[in-house]
Amino acid sequence: MKAIFKREFISLVADGRFWIACCLFTLLVGLSTAISLKNDRAMEHLRGGAQHDLRHEWVSQTAKDPHSAAHFGTYQVKPGTSLSWFDPGLDPFLGTVNFLEAHVRSEFMLRPARDSTSARHLGYLSPAFLLQVIAPLLIILFCFGSFASDRESGTLRLTLASGVHPAALVGGKIVGGLAAVFALVLPSLGVSGIMMMRVSEEIDLARLGLLLLGYGFYFAAIASITLWVSSRVLKSQSALAIMISFWIGMTFVVPRTISDMAAAQHPLPSKAAFAQKIAEETRQGIDGHDPQDARREELLERTLREYGVQRIEELPVNFDAIALQASEDYTSELYQREFDRVADQLEAQAQIVRTTAVLAPFLAIRNWSMAVSESDWAHHRRYAQAVEKYRQELVRRLNTDMIQNSRTGDFGYVVQQDFWESIPPMTYEGPSVRASIEDVESQLGLLAAWALLGIVGCLRASARLRP
């Protein structure tokens, strides 16, 4: 087996095309890493600057009533993660900036994908994209002829005639092929890692390790499946045609089909329909600005009873602010329900994609890579919930101040600048590594299963290996 491993490895790496491909791929990953890191740093700088400016804008507000401040609002920028440069995942599609104001839960803004051409929707030229899409193609191009070319040239006949055990032959070819595959991609990972270390303040070794593990399984899966196909067909051209079809299928056809299928099975409301539903339900609820609303009267009666007074003027609190907060609570609940409904649909779609990753290792590595890099749907939802919680707390604090420190009809009530400063900025702690991969552990299992399938397939094929 050692001789076969050596022969397989050397025959692959001694090919000038291998080194050309290796250099070009390393260059491409290096460029992509440089651009991604630069953009990430720029985004981080912008984010830091923006948050600073926004905070400054918030604390510099002139004296005004707190509810006006709630409408003045503020922006919240999604913090980057240690690996968002490597795999931006869904961030370009879901947005990273959120406007926080009273009564309204806004959508995320700054979605580069929306402003890009449709070609960008195929994927950003991130290091993750290159490793997920381009690396498998190179692996296929270098491994498809492993058995089939030997069969065509006749060397497989002489090899088998030598008395070598077919399992040793296949084992040697698998190990040699995998070693060559890792020789192909490791320089690019090395370059990427060095570039990252030069600019990153902290390196999350656990996440890096998990990424390497996932991609290791992914490359092993592609290489072993290619070798399996090569061992079963008579012509190397057939092996190439089958594997290119597999690559197109797993990279483009299956993800697109699954995504369309998931969207059809769990459809999302249109933006217009969503907005209309919110508007309608808001109208039916307590409108804090409408004194004629029947529910406002009910709230008033309840408040009067609570304070043991007969008339609104006798209340020790500002009933207008109580009504505003009641309206806020109502719309918050409404938004929560509707956003949860949309989020549940998106989660159901994501679940379909996770389940159907059994059909395509590309889907499994994409899900795994995004989750480890904290750029997947689960992480976005978690962040969106944190932002909404902060928004609700912010508005409640503003309204509570009005409720407690002013009286009904006191439209001249204002707070001073120190009040704005007393409201802390939003802080967000990302999920732990364990929490990040909780939903996608199965994806790593699938990648391992694909690799195992290819290896077992090769070894089983060895029993029927014919020249």
Partner 1 sequence: MGSATETQGPIQSGSAPTCLRAQDLTMRHGASTTLCTLNLEVPAGQVLSILGPNGAGKTTTINLFMGFFRPASGRAEVCGIHVAENPIEARRLLAYIPESVSLYGNLTGLENLQYFAELGGIRGLTFEAGEELLARAGLQESAWHRDCSTYSKGMRQKVCVALALAKDARAMLLDEPTSGLDPFAAREFSGLVNELASQGVGALVATHDLLLAREISHRILILVGGEVKETLPTDGLELGELEKVYLEALAAAPDSERDQL
Residue 78 contacts residue 112 (beta carbons within 8 Å): no
Q: Give backbone dihedrals phi and psi of 117, rounded to 5 degrees, phi first.
A: -70, 165
- Residue type (1 letter), 228: W
**In the bound complex, what is the minimum distance in angstroms from residue 168's beta carbon to partner 1?**
8
Q: Name the residue nearer to partner 1 (CB basis): 150 or 439.
A: 150
The footprint of partner 1 (CB under 8 A) covers 3-4, 7, 11, 14, 153-155, 157-165, 169, 466-467
Tell me whether residue 38 or residue 466 sits nearer to partner 1 (CB atom). 466
CB of 464 to partner 1, least distance (A): 10
**Cα-only R_g, the chain:** 30
Helix intervals (H) in 14-100: 16-59, 66-72, 91-94
Residue whose CB is less far from partner 1, 71 or 157: 157
Burial class of residue 280 in the structure, from the number of CB atoms within 10 Å of its CB (0-12 exposed, 13-18 middle, 19+ buried):
exposed
Cα–Cα nearest to 32, from 132, 176, 147: 132
Assess contact for 437 and 371: CB atoms under 8 A: yes
- To partner 1, the closest distance from the beta carbon of 13 in angstroms equals 12
Least distance to partner 1, CB of residue 183, Å: 18
Nearer to partner 1, 14 or 294 (CB): 14
Minimum gap (Å) between residue 14 Cβ and partner 1 = 7
Q: Indicate the residue among 14 and 119 with the shorter CB distance to partner 1.
A: 14
Say which DSSP state 252 is in: I
Distance of CA 61 to CAs 58, 223, 414, Å?
Answer: 6, 61, 11
Strand partners, 75: 99
Instruction: Give least dist CB 22 to partner 1, A.
Output: 19
Is 161 or 197 the residue whose CB approaches partner 1 more closely? 161
Q: Which is nearer to partner 1, 424 or 467 (CB)?
A: 467
CA distances from 29 to 145, 185, 381, 419, 441 (A): 26, 10, 30, 50, 27
Nearest approach in angstroms of CB 156 to partner 1 is 9
